Amino acid sequence: MKTSLLSAFVLAVCAGCAALVADDSAGGSSQLGSVRAKAKDVLGALPDKMPGGENDSAQLVALGRKLYFDKLLSVNQTISCNSCHVVDNNKGGVDGEATSPGAFGKRGGRNSPTVLNAGFHFAQFWDGRAPHLQAQAKGPILNPIEMAMPNEAEVLNRLRASPDYTALFDQAFPNAGDKITYDNLAHAIAAFERTLVTHDRFDDFLKGDDKALNSRELRGLDLFLNTGCTTCHQGPLLGATTYQKVGLIHPYENKEDLGREAVTKDEDDRYKFKVPTLRNIAITGPYFHDGTRKTLKEVVPQMAHMQLDKQLTTDEVDSVVAFLNTLTDKPRRTRK
């Protein structure tokens, strides 16, 4: 009975959403405006700059860009930051792997999250162990499974031996006494990452473009707003503002990764992870913290079941997935 009522409601919503793009009447415009108003209130558009970006010089960003792509920062010079968080070649800030191979081919236990828009997140890493981009940038270089450099001193020795880096650090930190430091390295990488702000059709819709979304995408947005998804996936990032237990109502099969509990040592944080952003979600799979789901058509009904105790129809799933595809950065949206 409950499912039938929900389906009837969804069909009514779908009919209304279809009318939004086909009917220029006052009623249709009003209904479209209502959906937009709720989306703006609960979600909102991404700002044009990440916090702190207004203070980053061109020289600092240029240094950070070079460091981000430089394999010199890995012990055997085989991988860079970009190896796991690919931002060139139209990629979505991930490598497309369930878990990423490090300098020696050994894989970590968690999926590499996208670096796109990461400076807007309230914390970094799945478990939130780094409070901001600069702290996050320090970790992988010294992680024995990832870039595996033995210590900060060895990293700095490599940089100081390079005439290019000597000049670039001097330009980026003209007033610093000791310019090539580990803190400055992380500062520069973070500055480059703060430039990775994306722009998508959903923001176009929020800013008043009535034709930015088609009828199915509008239907998916309405379902997203009214089914319960925004309990966790809220704000301009559609996530990345809270921690939540994976398997809130129905358990998730992976019981080995304790999530945030490993950081806080608090049993109440068991299986809690940072709620991932849904911006660019269509091009940042595979999904979940362990990278076990390959497609959004798998993820959407599983999340509805695990977190909301709801069963979505195939049409509902397709509509929500259609909406999620509108969150892809426009320059990257042609990626297959």
Catalytic residues: 146
* Tokens 């009318």 found at: 19
CB 113 within 8 A of CB 276: yes
Q: Which residues touch 238 (CB under 8 Å, ≥6 apart)?
A: 43, 230, 277, 278, 279, 327
Locate 219 and state its tokens: 């239907």
Q: Which residues touch 255 (CB under 8 Å, ≥6 apart)?
A: 271
User: What burial letters (b/e) apply to 38-74, b meaning 16+ CB within 10 Å?
Assistant: ebeeebebbeeebeebeebeebbbbbbbbbbbbebbb
Q: Which residues touch 53 (CB under 8 Å, ≥6 apart)?
A: 119, 191, 194, 195, 197
Locate 306 and state its tokens: 């695990």
DSSP 154-188: HHHHHHHT-HHHHHHHHHH-TT-SS-S-HHHHHHH
Q: Which residues touch 73 (CB under 8 Å, ≥6 apart)?
A: 67, 80, 81, 141, 147, 149, 155, 158
Whole-number Å distance between alpha carbons of 301 and 318: 10
Count how many Cα atoms sit within 13 Å of the Cα of residue 195 in the half-sphere of its side chain: 16
Whole-number Å distance between alpha carbons of 65 and 61: 6
Rounded alpha-carbon distances, angstroms, from residue 302 to 113, 114, 307: 20, 21, 8
